[in-house]
Amino acid sequence: MNQPDSSPSNFVRDIILNDLQTNKYQGRVHTRFPPEPNGYLHIGHAKSICLNFGLAAEFGGKTNLRFDDTNPEKEEQEYVDSIIDNVRWLGFQWQEPIHYASDYFGQLYEWALKMIRENKAFVCDLTADEVRQYRGTLTEGGKESPYRNRTVEENLDLFERMKNGEFPDGSRTLRAKIDMASKNLNMRDPVMYRILNAEHHRTGNKWCIYPMYDYAHGQSDSIEGITHSICTLEFEDHRPLYDWYVEQLGIYHPQQIEFDRLNLTYTMLSKRKLLQLVKDGHVRGWDDPRMPTLSGIRRRGYTPEALRNFCKAIGVSKTNGTIELGLLEHHVRDDLNKRAPRLMAVLRPLRVVIDNYPEGESELMEAVNNPEDASAGTRKVPFSRVLYIEQDDFKEDPPKQFFRLSPGKEVRLRWGYFITCTSVVKDEKGEIVEIHCTYDPATRGGNAPDGRKVKATIHWVSAAHAIDGEVRLYETLFNCESPNDLADLNPRSLEVLTECKLEPALGSSEAQFRCQFERLGYFCADNDTAPGKPVFNRIVGLRDAWAKIEKKTK
């Protein structure tokens, strides 16, 4: 048996450890991740991916990537490609080859014939609405279909004709013959096959009947030799049905284990509603940085390491709950703090003229790239007579406790000099468009030889050397902690700033370059970035409320 690492324990891991100790599967650990290709993966899937791939890797096992492609009306190759790309981006590699439920359509059909021959399945003519009416409720049993007692011969004939395309969509189904009085609604003669004249993205028009997920699920696991079929809790009530199918067929029986799904505050993880956001134009696509899809948060600038650390931190349980978005952002900051270089950008520029600095001259200031990483070294930042600072870093009539720049007040320019404001210039509307300052040449690098202190350090960019850039500031897509529908959309989820001034080093940024804009937050070059035209997404701000809470509880 492989020796486990120091990973935190959870009940799923404990089950696997026990199975290895008892040699239940001859020392094997074989998991799978079975997404339906009807949309893009979201952060909820990241938890399942990390759990399935992580446990198999810990114990020297294997993980299959299998597409549950049993519903051709909603599935597309685009979704298949994006899922493959994002699982790989998250840092995991599946056991080759990639599997598809459609690989097993032939075998599933043969097994259906076996069940018909053994009088365990029948062709039903009830409509979908009638099936629901006959099913009963949680407190009342259902009633049997009037077609339940068809002969085996009639059922075999009708099922073959269903396969041959003789009947219209929805006119007939194949149903398992179990127990209409069962307390579990899933066991009340569930549908196994429906007629669906739709082209499949892999099998084309070969089939016009498609297996239901509940019929294909357990048998697909069985075919692949999965040892631990790890599902979210909503599948717990379906487990007796999966067990029933494999037992009736007399095939290898995988073990299903259910765990809690991931729910995040201010986040909606319904693929149906995410698709609606895309189709209705509320976002720019599946990879919009406001979306909780892996493609979206990847474009925004989240790192796979941060996601894996987050999934590890939240753990696994048997009770559904909701995780605070702040915890996810904490792990993003924690990861970027170690790796992201620090640079300067001014998002809402205010022009500053240093009157006693020589006109036409400039100099290079030495700036530390990352104080958390000495190996990151330093860079040169140009300084000149005219600078840009943030509008919020100056107030003509400052309130108490405002320590940044104001008339007569001295501040430090990051990596630069001490400056003091002497006057302001306003336009015809009375708005400040320029401020004039003096600088102290003896304070180069940000320290005064006489030991005097200042209470604020502000960032800046040299006007003569600034790169024009666009910055996109993102807030939560929904404005309440538990969004229910699109009425909860946040109208201020995106602010686009088009007149930003960036230090020269940012001009050559390529897509997915991550850095910290000093004092502003962590940012990532968007896919729209072009040579000389950088576009940055704010990944997350600098303030980490979760870290403060964590320190108080220790």
Residue range 187-217, pLDDT digits in tens: 999 999 999 999 999 999 999 999 999 999 9
Q: What is the mean pLDDT of residues 126-144?
A: 95
State the DSSP H helix or E strand holding residue 45, giving kind and residue range, or none if neither.
helix 43-58
What is the assigned CATH class of domain 11-259?
A: alpha beta
State the DSSP H helix or E strand holding residue 494, giving kind and residue range, or none if neither.
strand 494-502
> Same fold for the domain at 265-342+469-554 and the one at 345-459?
yes
| Torsion 365-370-373-376 (CA) sign | negative
Range with the poorest average pLDDT among 28-37, 154-163, 545-554: 545-554
Q: Which percentage of the chain shows pLDDT scores above 90?
A: 94
For residue 547, what pLDDT is reported?
Answer: 58
For residue 8, what pLDDT is reported?
Answer: 67
Decide yes or no: CATH 2.40.240.10 for domain 345-459.
Answer: yes
Contact in structure between 449 and 440 (CB atoms under 8 Å): no
For residue 7, what pLDDT is reported?
Answer: 61
pLDDT in tens, 86-131: 999 999 999 999 999 999 999 999 999 999 999 999 999 999 999 9
For residue 1, what pLDDT is reported?
Answer: 40
DSSP state of 104: G
When pLDDT is cut at 50, 70 and 90, the band that residue 486 belongs to is confident
Q: What is the mean pLDDT of residues 459-469?
A: 98
Dist. CA 152–CA 190, nearest whole Å: 18
Residues in Cβ contact with 349 at an 8 Å cutoff, skipping those fewer than 6 apart: 388, 389, 390, 391, 461, 499, 500, 501
Which CATH superfamily includes the segment(s) 265-342+469-554? Answer: Ribosomal Protein L25; Chain P (2.40.240.10)
Q: What is the mean pLDDT of residues 59-63?
A: 97
Dist. CA 316–CA 320, nearest whole Å: 10
Instruction: Say what the pTM is.
Output: 0.92
**What's the mean pLDDT when you consider all of the chain?**
95
For residue 2, what pLDDT is reported?
Answer: 44
State the DSSP H helix or E strand holding residue 65, giving kind and residue range, or none if neither.
strand 62-67
For residue 398, what pLDDT is reported?
Answer: 94
Is the pLDDT score of 314 beyond 70?
Answer: yes
| Torsion 531-535-537-543 (CA) sign | positive
The torsion angles phi and psi of 297, rounded to 5 degrees, stand at -70, -25
Dist. CA 502–CA 532, nearest whole Å: 11
Among 509, 534, 516, 503, CA closest to 382: 503
For residue 551, what pLDDT is reported?
Answer: 52
Is the pLDDT score of 481 beyond 70?
Answer: yes
Q: What is the mean pLDDT of residues 5-33?
A: 90
Contact in structure between 267 and 478 (CB atoms under 8 Å): yes
The residues that are catalytic are 36, 261, 271
C-alpha pair distances (Å), 159 with each of 38, 171, 229, 512: 27, 12, 30, 53
Is the pLDDT score of 23 beyond 60?
Answer: yes
Q: What is the mean pLDDT of residues 482-505?
A: 95
For residue 484, what pLDDT is reported?
Answer: 87
Q: Work out the number of other CB atoms within 10 angstroms of the CB of residue 205.
A: 11
Dist. CA 343–CA 367, nearest whole Å: 9
When pLDDT is cut at 50, 70 and 90, the band that residue 3 belongs to is very low
For residue 262, what pLDDT is reported?
Answer: 96
Dist. CA 100–CA 34, nearest whole Å: 9
C-alpha pair distances (Å), 292 with each of 36, 40, 223, 246, 310: 17, 10, 33, 36, 14
pLDDT in tens, 379-425: 999 999 999 999 999 999 999 999 999 999 999 999 999 999 999 99
Q: List the chain domain ranges.
A: 11-259, 265-342+469-554, 345-459
For residue 253, what pLDDT is reported?
Answer: 97
Is the pLDDT score of 377 beyond 90?
Answer: yes
| 3-state SS class at 336 | helix
| 3-state SS class at 86 | helix
Among 315, 289, 312, CA closest to 302: 289
Residues in Cβ contact with 400 at an 8 Å cutoff, skipping those fewer than 6 apart: none
